Structure 1
Amino acid sequence: MHKTIIIGTGPAGLTAAIYLARANLNPLIIEGPQPGGQLTTTTEVENFPGFPEGVTGPELMDQMRKQAERFGAEFRTGWVNAIDMSSRPFKLSVEGMGDLTAESIIISTGASAKYLGIEGEQENIGRGVSTCATCDGFFFRGKKIIVIGGGDSAMEEANFLSRFGSEVRVVNRRTELRASKVMQDRARANGKIVWSLDNTPLGVVAGEKGVTGLRVRNNATGEEELLEVDGIFVAIGHTPNTKFLGGQITTDDHGYITVVPGTTTTNVPGVFACGDVQDNKYRQAITAAGSGCMAALDCERFLDEAEAVSASGVAQSQV
């Protein structure tokens, strides 16, 4: 029996682990195949407080993990296949560990960025290919940038990146954009943004120092073209990692966990959610860490109250 099991080891899960370990709750943290989450694919993090010279994503996650271990947090690698939340203690089926039980659970499984699946894309993540404009836009000052996508997030990223790049080209495989009218109008009014609509991305081209171009096909003519570029931002959405929950937790239309506003409390008492798995707006390391702190405090308070109720019941039965 574990007091708390944390699922996921990004900034949210690791911060929750630090707080719970310091409270002597000895949390068990289950890390999946990508310990540290999306931040481990980021070569340089310059906007996390406390690192004036910047820090690599893997290094930041490693330091947070060591901090949690220092206070007694236990880490185990496995894949959570299913959770039974019908009653407490909760039961987890974990590949490689068997069945585990916990009085409370913190879900910090994050959201996975959607990729195009084209040639050269995965190999150049962190070498010019990114899914986060606010994370990496600064590195492309005065350079040519491509944003791939046609939704609100693509328009938002294109506008943001225009602060840095000499030119921002929006590439979309459709002739029409899916973005809301207000977002489209804002992007079209931006003099730094140019358009390559009705073009299908085919492959990322890179040299020794990183990305140099994007191969596209004009859907109307069938002709292929190489667009010279220094940075490519894929903005086709994110998928929250919530399928393993089996519909037991309330989510929004996009699959993000719904929490009580101002808390990390879900619809299941004793289950909390933090980080990108419940945040489809900010998706930053610092906001994820903040919500991890909130989840730990919410969880600690829940366990204290549950223990008090249990002790009261025992006392009454003895009278």
Structure 2
Amino acid sequence: YKTRALVIATGAMGRPPTFKNEDVYLGKGVSYCATCDGAFYRDSEVAVFGNNMEAIEEAAFLTKFAKTVHWITSQDPKFETDEHAADLLATPNVKHWSQTRMLSVEGDGEGVTGVKIRKKGAEEETLEVEGVFIYVAGSKPITDFLTGGQVTMQDDGGVAVDDEMCTNVPGVFAIGDIRNTPFKQVVVAASDGCIAAMAIDRYLKGRKTVRVDWIHQ
């Protein structure tokens, strides 16, 4: 096939389930997006598993809604280099479970009722929570078909684009999670698509600038 313009929008591939029953309760209390689902857990007990920046930011967002945010980390955060973790733990409704493994998601068939954990040197116990937000690294942009080296990639594995979603190859654009943007929201991907569409219109018609709806004088 031949085309004058191409949009790459293959997204990112999620990781396989890490914890027992994680897949069973996905959408029934298990979530990977606090920004999307946090408001459903107003005045509830929730757990956040993860020791990366995404987990910290999402846990901080959940503090606006949840009664208690149980932040579970398998290792201690590096407070001397990560002020974000320190800020999170300074929030009154955050309880930190450090050096703790999450073993499984517990539920009653209808939804999440808790998570089974084991703190280092202690026995297993169950935290009663209604929501579990899991942030384990593993989701990667689907770029395995871009093996020829023509399209420039970022160090984090995403496709590199400019402000108009254009790659280094003229006429080739990339939008959505394949860019590995930290803002993994549907509205962001849709915005990428709109920007790319306007840029493609400019590109195909040979204009120097995009056609806009209004101009501020």
TM-score by length of 2: 0.86
User: 1:178, CA displacement in angstroms?
Assistant: 8.7
Which 5+ residue runs of structure 2 have no aligned equivalent?
Answer: 208-217
Q: Is 1:248 equivalent to 2:154 in the alignment?
A: no
CA spacing shift, 1:157–1:286, aligned 2, 3 Å: same
Q: 1:166 aligns to what?
A: 67
Task: Tell me the amino acid that sits aligned with residue 114 of structure 2.
Answer: G
Question: How many residues in Structure 1 have an aligned counterpart in Structure 2?
Answer: 205
Distance in 2 between residues matched to 1:290 and 1:213, nearest whole Å = 37
Q: Is 1:231 equivalent to 2:131 in the alignment?
A: yes
SS in 2 for 1:244: coil
- Greater share of residues in strand: 1
Question: Could you tell which deviates more after superposition, 104-113 or 129-138?
Answer: 104-113
Distance in 2 between residues matched to 1:253 and 1:215, nearest whole Å = 36
CA spacing shift, 1:179–1:282, aligned 2, 3 Å: farther
CA-to-aligned-CA distance 1:166-196 (integer Å, 9 cap, x gap): 0001111123459951211211211111111
Distance in 2 between residues matched to 1:157 and 1:130, nearest whole Å = 11
Q: 1:124 aligns to what?
A: 25
* Partner residue of 1:304 out of 184, 205, 213: 205
For residues 186-265 of structure 1, the aligned pairs below 5 Å read 186-218=87-119, 220-221=120-121, 223-237=123-137, 238-246=139-147, 247-260=149-162, 262-265=163-166
User: 1:199, CA displacement in angstroms?
Assistant: 1.2
Task: Tell me the amino acid that sits aligned with residue 159 of structure 2.
Answer: I
Distance in 2 between residues matched to 1:104 and 1:297, nearest whole Å = 12
User: 1:279, CA displacement in angstroms?
Assistant: 4.6
CA contact under 8 A between 1:151 and 1:179: conserved in structure 2?
no
Distance in 2 between residues matched to 1:273 and 1:258, nearest whole Å = 8
Distance in 2 between residues matched to 1:213 and 1:252, nearest whole Å = 39
Distance in 1 between residues matched to 2:204 and 2:80, nearest whole Å = 44
CA contact under 8 A between 2:77 and 2:85: conserved in structure 1?
no
SS in 2 for 1:124: coil
Distance in 2 between residues matched to 1:229 and 1:300, nearest whole Å = 50
Distance in 2 between residues matched to 1:177 and 1:126, nearest whole Å = 32
Distance in 1 between residues matched to 2:78 and 2:110, nearest whole Å = 32
Q: 2:168 aligns to what?
A: 267
For residues 72-111 of structure 1, the aligned pairs below 5 Å read 100-111=1-12
Distance in 2 between residues matched to 1:233 and 1:119, nearest whole Å = 14
Q: 1:79 aligns to what?
A: none
CA contact under 8 A between 1:162 and 1:192: conserved in structure 2?
yes
Which 5+ residue runs of structure 1 have no aligned equivalent?
Answer: 1-99, 307-319
RMSD between superposed Cα atoms in Å: 2.1
User: 1:251, CA displacement in angstroms?
Assistant: 2.2
Task: Tell me the amino acid that sits aligned with residue 254 of structure 1.
Answer: D
Which structure is higher in RCO with an 8 Å CA cutoff and minimum separation 6?
2
Distance in 1 between residues matched to 2:58 and 2:80, nearest whole Å = 12
Task: Tell me the amino acid that sits aligned with residue 71 of structure 2.
Answer: V
CA spacing shift, 1:215–1:140, aligned 2, 3 Å: same
CA contact under 8 A between 2:105 and 2:116: conserved in structure 1?
yes
CA-to-aligned-CA distance 1:47-85 (integer Å, 9 cap, x gap): xxxxxxxxxxxxxxxxxxxxxxxxxxxxxxxxxxxxxxx
CA contact under 8 A between 1:257 and 1:273: conserved in structure 2?
yes
CA spacing shift, 1:151–1:223, aligned 2, 3 Å: same
CA spacing shift, 1:232–1:245, aligned 2, 3 Å: same
